[in-house]
Amino acid sequence: MPGLLNSSSPARSPPPPAGSSGIWSKKRDVITFDHLQKFWSELPLQARQELLRIDKQTLFEQARKNLYCSRCNGLLLEGFSQIVMYGKSLQQEGTGFHLPNRTRAVSMALADSESDDVQDPSVHPWGGLAATRDGILTLVDCFINARSLKPLQNVFDSARAREHERELLYPDACGGGGRGWISQGMTNYGRGHGTRDTCALHTARLSCDTLVDFWSALGEETRTSLLQMKEEDFIERLMYRFDSKRFCRDCRRKVIREFKELKELKRMRRELRCTSWFCVADTAFQYEVSEDMVQADWHQSFTDSIGTYHHFEWAIGTGEGKYDILEFEDVGMSGKVQANGLDLGGLSSCVITLRAWKLDGRCTELCVKAHALKGQACVHRRLMIGDGFVTITKGESIRRFFEHAEEAEEEEDDDTMDKDGNELDGDGSRPQKHAKSPELAREFLLDAATVIFKEQVEKAFGEGTARRNAHSLFVSLALNLLEERVHVACKEIITLEKQIKLLEEEEKKNVKKKREERRRTKEREKKLRRKERLKGKERRERRKTTKQPHFMLLCQHLQMTHQQALLVIHHLPLWNLGMQLVTQGIS
């Protein structure tokens, strides 16, 4: 909708888009700035306060007409509650922008002395909006009480700039004529939850760059909270992923077992010594494997070795029952050994075998396995479970974290498509996934956790974005309605003035017409009176003439009757001359 000013004040912000949907944009010449300035300056304070008021029902009736999605509409309701609470808190503190009980003189004086910050609606958290105690939306006092129209113009200009910026930032969100709508559900847990009747702002898949930018703007406390989740919530989402990837029961149990082992490690305060090369998941004794070194430490596993055991032997192989890397070596009663100078970079696994020989000749054999990571992340270094929470670390970088999750999602999307690119149905035609080994179970657990926590970051971004969008929508919608009320009231005054002017002109025409009729009537009456006077004069003259002696002589001479002579006299005004001539002739 257009501004109150058409040409007076300079633009303070980017102009709204050409396709503005305001009802006044097509009729800018109907109401001019002079009209509005005159209307506003002559409007009493109480009338201004009554004019600049909209209730909750009016606001949300307009919101329903705009067809906002269910989530955005809910956020608008939340925004209304927030501004009401904001107003109440300011009233309780005795501070703020809204000054409800001032006389006009005091308010106008204070309005003139307000600082520039107060007069600038862009620094106000609600763009100049305020709420009364009974939940009515209005403007803060400094804008209502201002003598000039400019502060009010600034409020509405700021609202249009805010709306224009919102449309640029969130082109697929509610607000721009109902754009961005989708109604179909999606297969992904986080994006598929509650997508019915929501705009794309709540469901759009975000790029890694967007997430990295969002992450960079967060504080450390917020980042930590986004990489942490309640254990029951994590299990719920993990179960959803089991269903989406169609894991068999046996493989589900394996993944859950790995999850419980991670939880047990936290409970026992045991820390595994995984490296960037090998994951050491077994807990029979502590060990560490890198590309060129193997270390084993079993002194905590054999605390009663003195007096019970005779000696220990250990060996290293590429698989269970194999000792092709290091043959069994007697290390005596040592509880910790290390082998250096090995070449383990190309192996897929490494098995350490420990034999504990007792004094009676019996032997206890323990085996632990190190799984080669081959550039993959280790679940033990990334995922911590305990105290009712699941926590994940970002790894080498947050970008790599999001990319890892994206790769896992793409793999899932590939699993839901056949070789021709068609989506598979959910009636069992999609092949089951298996985690046949503990290593695959841990890999799936880490992939699932990465995707789940990425979705949590996406949700936080989406909620924050949706709240900002809804906040701008709320402010723009409310100020739009208030501006419309000002325009409508001004237009009504202009219409009334035009009607009064037309009535006055009509009255003047009627008065002029009546005056003209009276003048013509007087002229007619004057002519009639003049005519009557002439006729009376003629009659008197005729009567006077008929009594003269020469008239009778004329009648006898012309052999005319008395009536015929009168007729001649009537039609011959110069009868006196003729009569004289006749008289002279007779004589």
If pLDDT is split at 50, 70 and 90, which confidence band does 116 have?
Answer: very low
Contact between 285 and 298 under an 8 Å Cβ cutoff? The reply is: yes
Per-residue pLDDT tens over the stretch 48-94: 888 889 998 988 888 888 878 888 888 999 999 999 888 888 777 66
- Side-chain-side CA neighbours of 86 within 13 Å: the count stands at 19
Per-residue pLDDT tens over the stretch 294-345: 888 887 787 776 778 888 888 998 888 888 888 888 888 888 888 888 888 8
Per-residue pLDDT tens over the stretch 143-185: 888 888 888 888 999 999 988 888 888 877 787 554 444 444 4
Q: CA 417 → CA 182, 215, 451, distances in Å? A: 22, 32, 19
Q: What is the pLDDT of residue 186?
A: 40
Q: Which residues on neighbouring strands pair with residue 55, listed in sequence order?
A: none
Calculate what percentage of the chain has a pLDDT beyond 90. 13
Q: Which residues does 521 contact at the CB level (< 8 Å), separation at least 6?
A: none
Whether CATH 3.40.640.10 fits 224-455: no
For the chain, helix (H) and strand (E) counts, in that order, are 19, 15
Strands 137-139 and 286-289 turn out to be unpaired
Answer with the residue of higher pLDDT: 266 or 19.
Answer: 266
- pTM higher than 0.95, yes or no? no
Phi, psi values for residue 253, rounded to 5°: -60, -35
Place of tokens 């008021």: 53
Instruction: Domain ranges for the chain, please list them.
Output: 33-176+461-501, 224-455, 548-587
